[in-house]
Chain A
Amino acid sequence: MYLTLMVKGLLRHRRSGRRLFVLFALCSAAVLFFLTFRDSFTARYRQLAIDTSTAHLQIMPSDSPKLSPDGACTDHREAVVLLDYTQDLERFLRSLPAVESVMLALESKAAIYTAEGEPTGFTPAVIGVDTLTFARTLPGVRVTEGEQALAWTPSMRDIPVFRSALEESEIVWDNDRFVRDNFRLQSRDWESFKLAVARDMPGLFADARGPLQDRRFLASMNQALDRADLPALLPSSVRETYDYRVDDAVAALEQASADPPPHGDGERRLKVLRKRLLQSVYPQAITPVRDAIELNAPYTLAIPSARSATLGRPVVFPIKMTAYVQSVPFFPGRYYVDGRALRARLGVSERQGTNLYVRLASEADVPAVKEAVAGWIAARHLPYVVKDHQELGKIFASTTMALGAITSVLIVLFVATVTIFVVNTALLAVVKRRREIGTWIALGLSPAQNVVILCGEILVLVLVSWAIGSIIGTGVILLFHRTGMPGVVFMPGSRLFLDFRPVHLAVSFAVLFFASGVASLVPLLRLVRVKPVELLKEAA
């Protein structure tokens, strides 16, 4: 009987509750979505940090520069402080069933210079890794562009290096094409310059008659960057007069043309060199062409020598960046290199390193393994410490904390919105349906039974809208599970892949259903206190 009355009541008032129904459905979808977003972001961001930066645990000397105050991002001490990865320690770590892999790393701050000797801007961390265990210990360091091989052999001239993907601020724009900003000249000087260039290089401006429009001039200059015969098109006065800048630019272009890099960016490199050639011809008019950080270009790496207590000379060697790898966005500057190459140059033995990365089978094993390792170290009075990913990744925690707090507030807000509107619906029901309630009482229903019916109606409304909202929410989550949610700039590629968990359905249902139930009861209970005769009076 209750069910029949509820359904009939709902059908009778369906028009007035249409938009409310949509609101409940959207709120349910939003609660489900934000619960999933919060948990997916927290879990994936933490996993990203573990997989690319910290691993689950790290063992390091107790005076390691990595232990600088409260894990701040900058460590100024140059020395490379070493620990010994003894066979004892290896045996012990291997004996722990939760340990999946261990990697001895040789890590230091370093300076990177271009082939011309210019610093590339900032000081990254260079991490010498064990190529055999690297992929297992830091599985998130995936190659996003370039070659997969990191292994080094003594016969190699340049040591292959993986570097974290370029941040936007590291990208050098427009060094392989001309834009108006590349020219220093204004107004009359600019017009004269365009005509002078057209006169100097008629091969590029064959159809130029009279003043040149900027767009046409730039298009012709950009076409020049595609011309393999550009040196031959230069004005004879330039070719016949010695100028070291032009000479160097032509030589660099010829060398790059004769020995193009195997990588697909070879043509872009040639364009940069052609632009540099034109800049050398008109140095007063064209601004210098900056080198972009790019794959397969030669660089020099300078790393401090591995002595802890003295002022060591830096060790310098040639490198080639062979690939970009995934890292935590906004925390760039990690360079990976075969540990053997670093050891050979720094004179460090195979069993020495700056820290041991330890990967566990599960994050849940961290406290137990950490305690076991700390105990083992303490028992042998070794000057080492063990740190877990939370201590090492403090710097990443603020992001998850901020987004977690924001989404939690939003969830509370949606629940509050549903609650407020449920209260309103219940109040309206009490006020507008007094005659209907009076009739039911006349037919023998008690006020309490009326409360059950009205409360039931609201809960059916919430239940159905929750079900529809959950379908919508789940659909969106599954879509973003496949495609990734765009715009989440804190994740690689600005995409967050959401993970659907049935428990979120249960949580959203429990929260909304409970909140709605309580909220609807408050006004409806007034019915119990109303004397039936008053309602009957109104119905009369």
Chain B
Amino acid sequence: MLSAKLAFRNMLAHRQRSRIMFVVIGLVSFVVFLFMAFSDGQLHNFKTGVIALTDPAADVVVSARGFKTAAEQGEDFRELSSHSVEGYPAVLRELRALPYVKRAATPTTPVPMNLVAHGLRHENFTLRGVDPDQAYLVREHLRMKEGSFFGASDEPEIILHYKTASTTHLRPGDAVTLSGKNLFGQVVVQQARFKGYFVGEQDIPNLAELGFVNMAAYRLVSGFAPHETLSLFVELRPGEGKAGAIQKLGEWAAERGFDLEFWDYDRQPRSTLRVHALMRVYDLLRLILQSMSVVVLTIVTFGIMSVVSVNLQDRRREIGTYYCLGSEKGFLIRLYTLELLMINLAAAVAGVLAGLAVRQVVQSLRIQTEESGLQFLFGGSHLTMGVSVGTVIFVLSSIVVVTFATAVTTLGSRLQVSPVAALRETE
């Protein structure tokens, strides 16, 4: 406590000398924070804009018993579908009524299909079903550029990405034919009504291959029976722990007689994990940014060492006085390390705050693009500067490491001061 008090007083007394250290650490923290914020923004755009367009947000996955094991063993779709959840709307209704569940929904399994329009075949669309009960989850992430979204019609309907307009030349109301194999390998040829073109709130060029169909069409192209799905996603209310919720869900299922199993969304088997290949690129880019930040911090550490060394050289009289008052070297090492830590952490916090201010400015500018390359770069059509606890921890912990590296390499030699030196200099 005493050392902390003294360190704080020293920091204030020698603030002129510490200015340089504060500026450099603040600048480095600012830049590292911006790097990480950009990466957070990419991941945020991609997860909440692009992935969320097809997969609802989830903390817990719900499936029929045996599905998870089958997925872990890399079973094919036919085997997986033997563990499907039947009558899922009833299960969803009950799940949504649970007090700790924020939202519950089912992701529809994508079906690769071809499309014939005006006598031309267009290949490689991935079709997703939109359950009217949870259409709002899709609507949150897209808007219609032309035509309208699905209504209450029992007729099979489809909407496509706006970038396909120039090749398909479809107009709302046109008839299209969907052809291909359903998820069970059976050949499907199905007429559907084209409703319009959508654009993702976060758009990337890969979305051009995505199409949405209503459930009347989805049941036909997927081969699923009505009210059958592979899994359900549960989003928990804020503050609800996953482990506790999984246990409570298990008890609820046993009580209600549902033969279901529950597991953490982040611990999905590799074969069912809905991670886009692009996600890997964004993760790699984040790793590169972190590596570069480490290089910067390592180099800057030498500068900080120099500054600390000169500072302590100038404060020999003060150090000598501490010895005269009976201080041990260990106490002084603790004292000066604490002082360093306070300065560096204050600078890091200032850097992070400056970064947050810049982030706020960028966010308020609402920069967006339709250019493919930039969309890939941003992880969506908007430039987003994100912020995460991980980023702040990374910046602050890096600065703590720099501080201790400086303390270890500098303090030992600089604190070797004779008490007599203090007296001599005061003469």
Which A positions have Cβ atoms within 8 angstroms of B? 16-20, 22-23, 26-27, 30, 65, 68-79, 109, 123, 167, 169, 181-184, 186, 287-288, 290, 304, 309-311, 330, 394-399, 401-403, 406-407, 409-410, 413-414, 416-417, 420-421, 423-424, 428, 432, 487, 489
CA–CA, A370 and B391, complex, Å = 47
A19 to chain B: closest residue by CB: B306
The reply to whether A76 and B125 contact each other, CB–CB distance below 8 Å, is yes
The reply to whether A16 and B74 contact each other, CB–CB distance below 8 Å, is no
CA–CA, A183 and B20, complex, Å = 62
The reply to whether B373 and A394 contact each other, CB–CB distance below 8 Å, is yes
Chain A CB within 8 A of B350 CB: no
**Stretch of B136-144, B188-196, B259-267, B285-293 that contacts chain A:** B285-293
The reply to whether B289 and A23 contact each other, CB–CB distance below 8 Å, is no
Question: What are 17 A-B contacts with C-beta separation under 8 Å?
Answer: A16-B306, A19-B302, A70-B370, A74-B205, A77-B121, A77-B123, A290-B74, A309-B119, A396-B373, A398-B374, A401-B373, A402-B285, A410-B295, A413-B296, A420-B20, A420-B24, A424-B20
The reply to whether A417 and B76 contact each other, CB–CB distance below 8 Å, is no
In the complex, which residues of chain B have a beta carbon less than 8 angstroms from the beta carbon of A17?
A: 306
Supposing A16-B309, A19-B302, A70-B205 touch, asked if A395 and B372 sit within 8 A by C-beta, the answer is yes
In the complex, which residues of chain A have a beta carbon less than 8 angstroms from the beta carbon of B291?
A: 487
B72 to chain A: closest residue by CB: A181
Within the complex, which residue of B24, B168, B377 is in contact with A417, where a contact is CB–CB below 8 Å? B24
Interface centre among B34, B122, B280, B376 (most CB of A within 10 A): B376
The reply to whether B27 and A79 contact each other, CB–CB distance below 8 Å, is no
CA–CA, A70 and B374, complex, Å = 12
The reply to whether B73 and A181 contact each other, CB–CB distance below 8 Å, is yes
The reply to whether B376 and A395 contact each other, CB–CB distance below 8 Å, is yes
Within the complex, which residue of B31, B70, B119, B310 is in contact with A428, where a contact is CB–CB below 8 Å? B310
CA–CA, A393 and B185, complex, Å = 36
Supposing A19-B309, A76-B167 touch, asked if A413 and B28 sit within 8 A by C-beta, the answer is yes
The reply to whether A109 and B120 contact each other, CB–CB distance below 8 Å, is no
B164 to chain A: closest residue by CB: A76
Chain A CB within 8 A of B208 CB: yes
A185 to chain B: closest residue by CB: B69
Chain A CB within 8 A of B284 CB: yes
Supposing A76-B164, A398-B374, A417-B24 touch, asked if A16 and B299 sit within 8 A by C-beta, the answer is no
Supposing A413-B27, A417-B299, A420-B24 touch, asked if A74 and B372 sit within 8 A by C-beta, the answer is no
Chain A CB within 8 A of B46 CB: no
Closest CB in chain A relative to B111 CB, distance in Å: 13
In the complex, which residues of chain A have a beta carbon less than 8 angstroms from the beta carbon of B285?
A: 402
B314 to chain A: closest residue by CB: A432
Closest CB in chain A relative to B20 CB, distance in Å: 4
CA–CA, A311 and B125, complex, Å = 17
CA–CA, A416 and B120, complex, Å = 59
B373 to chain A: closest residue by CB: A398
In the complex, which residues of chain B have a beta carbon less than 8 angstroms from the beta carbon of A401?
A: 373-374, 377
The reply to whether A74 and B124 contact each other, CB–CB distance below 8 Å, is yes
Within the complex, which residue of A109, A330, A394, A424 is in contact with B124, where a contact is CB–CB below 8 Å? A109
CA–CA, A290 and B307, complex, Å = 62
Interface centre among A65, A183, A421 (most CB of B within 10 A): A421
Closest CB in chain A relative to B354 CB, distance in Å: 14
A33 to chain B: closest residue by CB: B295
The reply to whether B120 and A288 contact each other, CB–CB distance below 8 Å, is no
The A/B interface has a contact count, at CB < 8 Å, of 177
Closest CB in chain B relative to A306 CB, distance in Å: 13
Chain A CB within 8 A of B300 CB: yes
The reply to whether A73 and B303 contact each other, CB–CB distance below 8 Å, is no
A-B contact sample (10 more), CB < 8 A, given A72-B205, A395-B205:
A23-B299, A78-B114, A78-B123, A109-B123, A169-B280, A183-B73, A304-B121, A311-B121, A401-B374, A407-B292
In the complex, which residues of chain B have a beta carbon less than 8 angstroms from the beta carbon of A424?
A: 20, 307
A27 to chain B: closest residue by CB: B299
The reply to whether A70 and B371 contact each other, CB–CB distance below 8 Å, is yes
Supposing A311-B120, A401-B377 touch, asked if A30 and B295 sit within 8 A by C-beta, the answer is yes
Chain A CB within 8 A of B186 CB: no
CA–CA, A62 and B108, complex, Å = 38
In the complex, which residues of chain A have a beta carbon less than 8 angstroms from the beta carbon of B121?
A: 77-79, 304, 311
CA–CA, A22 and B114, complex, Å = 63
The reply to whether B168 and A410 contact each other, CB–CB distance below 8 Å, is no
The reply to whether A72 and B373 contact each other, CB–CB distance below 8 Å, is no
Closest CB in chain B relative to A295 CB, distance in Å: 23
Q: Residue-by-residue, is B334-377 near A (CB-CB < 8 Å gives 1, otherwise 0)?
A: 00000000000000000000000000000000000011111111
A76 to chain B: closest residue by CB: B122
Chain A CB within 8 A of B281 CB: yes
In the complex, which residues of chain A have a beta carbon less than 8 angstroms from the beta carbon of B114?
A: 78
In the complex, which residues of chain A have a beta carbon less than 8 angstroms from the beta carbon of B325?
A: none
Q: How many residues of B contact A (CB 8 A)?
A: 66
In the complex, which residues of chain A have a beta carbon less than 8 angstroms from the beta carbon of B209?
A: 74, 76
The reply to whether B124 and A71 contact each other, CB–CB distance below 8 Å, is no
Chain A CB within 8 A of B277 CB: yes
In the complex, which residues of chain A have a beta carbon less than 8 angstroms from the beta carbon of B314?
A: 432
CA–CA, A515 and B123, complex, Å = 57
The reply to whether A184 and B69 contact each other, CB–CB distance below 8 Å, is yes
Which residues 23-62 of B sit at the A interface, judged by CB distance below 8 A? 23-24, 27-28, 31, 34-35
The reply to whether A73 and B205 contact each other, CB–CB distance below 8 Å, is yes
In the complex, which residues of chain B have a beta carbon less than 8 angstroms from the beta carbon of A414?
A: 296, 299
CA–CA, A114 and B209, complex, Å = 24
The reply to whether A287 and B168 contact each other, CB–CB distance below 8 Å, is no
Supposing A169-B277, A310-B119 touch, asked if A287 and B24 sit within 8 A by C-beta, the answer is no
Supposing A74-B205, A395-B372 touch, asked if A421 and B167 sit within 8 A by C-beta, the answer is no
CA–CA, A76 and B309, complex, Å = 66
In the complex, which residues of chain B have a beta carbon less than 8 angstroms from the beta carbon of A18?
A: 306
Closest CB in chain B relative to A236 CB, distance in Å: 29
Closest CB in chain A relative to B295 CB, distance in Å: 7
A180 to chain B: closest residue by CB: B73
Chain A CB within 8 A of B426 CB: no
In the complex, which residues of chain A have a beta carbon less than 8 angstroms from the beta carbon of B306?
A: 16-20, 23, 421
Chain A CB within 8 A of B163 CB: yes
Kindly list the 4 A-B residue pairs having the minimum CB-CB distance in the complex, ordered from nearest.
A19-B306, A76-B122, A398-B373, A72-B205
In the complex, which residues of chain B have a beta carbon less than 8 angstroms from the beta carbon of A68?
A: 163, 166-167, 208
In the complex, which residues of chain A have a beta carbon less than 8 angstroms from the beta carbon of B123?
A: 76-78, 109, 123, 304
Chain A CB within 8 A of B313 CB: yes
Supposing A73-B206, A76-B124, A413-B27 touch, asked if A22 and B372 sit within 8 A by C-beta, the answer is no
CA–CA, A184 and B75, complex, Å = 10
B30 to chain A: closest residue by CB: A413
Closest CB in chain B relative to A436 CB, distance in Å: 16
CA–CA, A386 and B2, complex, Å = 76
A29 to chain B: closest residue by CB: B299
Chain A CB within 8 A of B101 CB: no
The reply to whether A186 and B302 contact each other, CB–CB distance below 8 Å, is no
In the complex, which residues of chain B have a beta carbon less than 8 angstroms from the beta carbon of A417?
A: 24, 27-28, 299-300, 303
In the complex, which residues of chain B have a beta carbon less than 8 angstroms from the beta carbon of A109?
A: 123-124
The reply to whether A69 and B70 contact each other, CB–CB distance below 8 Å, is no
CA–CA, A38 and B291, complex, Å = 15
The reply to whether B208 and A72 contact each other, CB–CB distance below 8 Å, is yes
A70 to chain B: closest residue by CB: B372
In the complex, which residues of chain A have a beta carbon less than 8 angstroms from the beta carbon of B289?
A: 406
Closest CB in chain B relative to A334 CB, distance in Å: 16
Chain A CB within 8 A of B175 CB: no
In the complex, which residues of chain A have a beta carbon less than 8 angstroms from the beta carbon of B73?
A: 181-184, 287
CA–CA, A182 and B208, complex, Å = 37
Chain A CB within 8 A of B253 CB: no
In the complex, which residues of chain B have a beta carbon less than 8 angstroms from the beta carbon of A413?
A: 27-28, 31, 296
Chain A CB within 8 A of B116 CB: yes
CA–CA, A79 and B371, complex, Å = 26
CA–CA, A288 and B79, complex, Å = 10
Closest CB in chain A relative to B270 CB, distance in Å: 10
In the complex, which residues of chain A have a beta carbon less than 8 angstroms from the beta carbon of B302?
A: 19-20, 22-23, 26
A489 to chain B: closest residue by CB: B284
Closest CB in chain A relative to B30 CB, distance in Å: 9
